[in-house]
Chains A and B, each alone.
Chain A
Amino acid sequence: MNLLPFNSLIAILVVPLVAALGLVALPGYKSTSRLNVFACFLTLVFAVSLVLDRPPVGTLLFVDDLSIVFVILNTLVGFTTSIFSASYIAHELDTGKLNSTYVRFYHATYQIMMFAMNLALVSNNIGLMWVAVEMATLTTVLMVGIYRTPEALEAAWKYFILGSVGIALALFGTILFYVAAVPIVGQGLDAMTWTLLITRVSAVDPALINIAFVFLLLGYGTKVGLVPVHAWLPDAHAEGPTPISAVLSGLLLNVALYAILRFKLLMVANGDAIAPGPMMIAMGLTSLIFAAFMLYPRRDIKRLFAYSSIEHMGIITFAFGIGGPLANFAGLLHMTMHSLTKSAIFFSVGQITQVKKTQNIDDIRGLTVSHPVLGWGLVVGVVAIAGLPPMGVFMSEFLVVTSTFANAPWLALPLTFGLLLALGALLGKMSGMAFGKPSGGLGPVEASYFPMVLHLSLVLVAGFYIPQPIVVWFQHVAALLG
């Protein structure tokens, strides 16, 4: 049934690449932002079509049930963010924070970043996956530093240095994995091909892959933003353009987590290797509690939600660390909900900082009065991200807690403590910003509300009802994750 000379798998890589070339060549802001949105939409269409028509497993590229979830989430949020970014960047152009050369560069980098993330998600080769994650890091570093202010450059530099060290550790882990696999699988590409490794990893020497996994967890964990290797994350979120904060939180952290999950599967399949679960639980729980405490002293709105991302990545890593069908299901659901909610929050935060002309929480007051849609959008977003019913995040957090009770009851205590701590901080900060007497800029909002409303509606609906096919799919993937 394949009429085209390429399949959807190739398409989700080729479309962003071609678009990036086009975006470099095209002048003018209007046409490039439209092309950016269109390319993201096309990528999304191809990504969804992967569900119907799955291409055969290749030596370099493949998709399975796990990666399709990530790819669709990635391209969906990529698409909605491109819509938000179009209006956001237009405003930045008007106020002179960016000039047209930088905008051209920004759009091209956006597509290259989408390419790199998609490549990481569909690569069947652990070396190729590493290259793709590195490329995604590089492009986001460029975007974080795009304003060229001292703070933005500092943030980009810090992200660059810490990200590079993380990436170096991940590469060392990858090399160790290869060396461990060579006696069993044989030299060359085969020993790096994930689908071959998973079938034969049980014969691999466990001692070497134990060490490899520690390096991989720390290395890719840096990109996930796990404590203690999270220091780049708040700065990168706070100083870059807000659409990039949305993409960083909603997508890039997931991509790094995906890499960890792939290696976790290999570790579990080996049988004799140390269980990866406890390490992931420890890092996840530390991230959750540390970030929850760090939420209180925040004065910068983007930094606040950056710490909230560390907190949620902690919860997700924790859930996958607990393992088992229920906890994995909860982890997957929470990841999806977090991506949708956090990017929606950043959409509203982007508009708030544009109308209020400040990122300082104390200077933002009474949003629901001055900008009702924006204010209530923020309220709904924060209620969702804090894990209150009836939103989807409540569902997934509830599942994480109950599955923890079922597997390791005493771990549920610190988990619940962290969740409540974060809830208190977020609600406290939000009530100040949303209610009371309006202050700061009162100008109209020019950007489109569509992406924010869409995401929040999805999260709200998920709180009541998740379509059966998606539940079945997630259950299947959760079982796969072991």
Chain B
Amino acid sequence: MINEAFSYDVAHMLAGGMLLVSFMLLYQDRMYGLLNVFALHAFVLSLSVAWEAYVNQSPHLYITAAIALILKAIIIPTALHRIVQRLGIHRTVETSVGIGATMLVGIGLVALSMALMLPVTDAADPLARQDLAFSLSILLLGMLMMVTRRNAVGQVVGLMSIENGLILAAAGAKGMPLVVEISVAFSVLIAFMVIGIFLFRIRERFDTVDVQVLDSFRGERK
């Protein structure tokens, strides 16, 4: 068997890698770039979950890893790629806040989540502890991304990165039941979204999924 320090280091590296990719998502200004980086995010997640499955001898986590790899790293990015192509919106990702400011806020959020999670998880298993801190960071960065992107695809990618962070936390929580079920439930949610973009013909109205136009519906229509 591999020794404990090594297995911890690898898990740490993979989870940290996900956080890094989350930052990369924040500064993508092209659609294709965004989707490729998201595929990388999901790929690192699947590696990380597979490593937890191996280290903790919990074979059911391999299913979660496989779902992450096949669905989120391959199928969904490909599907979104085609949507973006058909809609002709590959050029820019509209952001409502500048990249520099977003990155600074992102760093602040990571510091916040470390400061919040590490002191309160002393009792927890070290692997779960670092996963929780990382996943809270990924969650907050994903939310930041959803706030700063105006485009529907950008928001979906942000939501999926949040979901990746949650799966990381769930896989890290030793022996947590229902992880597979939860990852399936989440995948259904995401699949619905992608199907939704296709079927509900948000295509013609893609711009109106822009949050600014959505706001006009919050008030009253005359």
By a beta-carbon cutoff of 8 Å, the part of chain A in contact with chain B is 125, 127-128, 130-131, 134-135, 138, 141, 145, 148, 150-151, 153-158, 160-161, 164-165, 167-169, 171-172, 175-176, 178-180, 182-183, 187-189, 191-192, 205, 207-208, 210-211, 231, 234-235, 297-300, 303
Of the A-B pairs whose beta carbons lie under 8 Å apart in the complex, a sample of 17, sorted by A's number, is: A125-B178, A127-B177, A145-B196, A154-B208, A154-B213, A157-B152, A160-B192, A165-B159, A168-B163, A168-B166, A172-B139, A178-B173, A182-B174, A189-B177, A207-B119, A235-B218, A298-B220
B contact residues around A138 at 8 Å (CB)? 188-189, 192
Contact A160 to B123, CB < 8 A, known contacts A182-B173, A300-B221: no
- Scan B158-173; emit 1 where CB is below 8 A from any A CB, else 0: 0100110010011001
Contact B159 A164 (CB under 8 A): yes
- Scan B119-135; emit 1 where CB is below 8 A from any A CB, else 0: 11101110010001001
Contact B202 A205 (CB under 8 A): no
A403 to B177, CA, bound (A): 41
A300 to B222, CA, bound (A): 9
A191 to B177, CA, bound (A): 9
Contact A157 B120 (CB under 8 A): no
Residues of chain B in range 199-222 having any CB-CB distance to chain A below 8 Å: 200, 202, 205, 208-209, 213-214, 217-218, 220-222
A424 to chain B, nearest CB (A): 19
Contact A157 B196 (CB under 8 A): yes
List 19 additional A-B contacts (Cβ < 8 Å) besides A182-B175, A231-B218.
A131-B178, A154-B208, A155-B217, A157-B214, A169-B139, A171-B166, A171-B182, A176-B132, A178-B173, A179-B128, A180-B124, A182-B124, A188-B175, A191-B175, A207-B119, A211-B117, A297-B220, A298-B220, A300-B221
A178 to B170, CA, bound (A): 9
A172 to B142, CA, bound (A): 13
A405 to B214, CA, bound (A): 41
Flag whether B181 is at the interface (Cβ < 8 A).
yes
Flag whether B193 is at the interface (Cβ < 8 A).
yes
Contact B182 A130 (CB under 8 A): yes
By a beta-carbon cutoff of 8 Å, the part of chain B in contact with chain A is 116-117, 119-121, 123-125, 128, 132, 135-136, 139, 143, 146, 152, 155, 159, 162-163, 166, 169-170, 173-178, 181-182, 185-186, 188-189, 192-193, 196, 200, 202, 205, 208-209, 213-214, 217-218, 220-222
Beta-carbon nearest neighbor of B136 in chain A: A172
Q: From the candidates B135, B176, B217, name the one contacting A172 in the complex (CB within 8 A).
A: B135
Contact A299 to B220, CB < 8 A, known contacts A128-B178, A179-B124, A187-B174: yes
A contact residues around B205 at 8 Å (CB)? 150, 153
A contact residues around B170 at 8 Å (CB)? 171, 175
Contact A153 to B200, CB < 8 A, known contacts A127-B178, A172-B135, A189-B177: yes
Contact A145 B132 (CB under 8 A): no
B contact residues around A161 at 8 Å (CB)? 146, 155, 159
Contact A192 to B220, CB < 8 A, known contacts A150-B208, A211-B116: no
Q: From the candidates B120, B159, B208, name the one contacting A205 in the complex (CB within 8 A).
A: B120
Q: From the candidates B117, B181, B196, B222, name the one contacting A131 in the complex (CB within 8 A).
A: B181
A179 to B162, CA, bound (A): 19
A182 to B173, CA, bound (A): 9
B contact residues around A153 at 8 Å (CB)? 200, 202, 205
Contact A300 to B162, CB < 8 A, known contacts A158-B214, A160-B193, A189-B177: no
A contact residues around B217 at 8 Å (CB)? 151, 154-155, 158, 235
Beta-carbon nearest neighbor of B125 in chain A: A182
A161 to B120, CA, bound (A): 30
Contact B120 A208 (CB under 8 A): yes
B contact residues around A207 at 8 Å (CB)? 119-120
A415 to B218, CA, bound (A): 26
A130 to B179, CA, bound (A): 12
A158 to B159, CA, bound (A): 13
A207 to B193, CA, bound (A): 36
A contact residues around B173 at 8 Å (CB)? 175, 178-179, 182
A191 to B170, CA, bound (A): 13
Beta-carbon nearest neighbor of A59 in chain B: B177
Contact A175 B176 (CB under 8 A): yes
Residue of A150, A188, A207 contacting most chain B CB atoms (<10 Å): A150
B contact residues around A148 at 8 Å (CB)? 200
B contact residues around A303 at 8 Å (CB)? 220
Contact A183 B209 (CB under 8 A): no
A331 to B200, CA, bound (A): 40
Contact B116 A154 (CB under 8 A): no
Beta-carbon nearest neighbor of A193 in chain B: B177
A297 to B222, CA, bound (A): 13
Contact A165 B177 (CB under 8 A): no
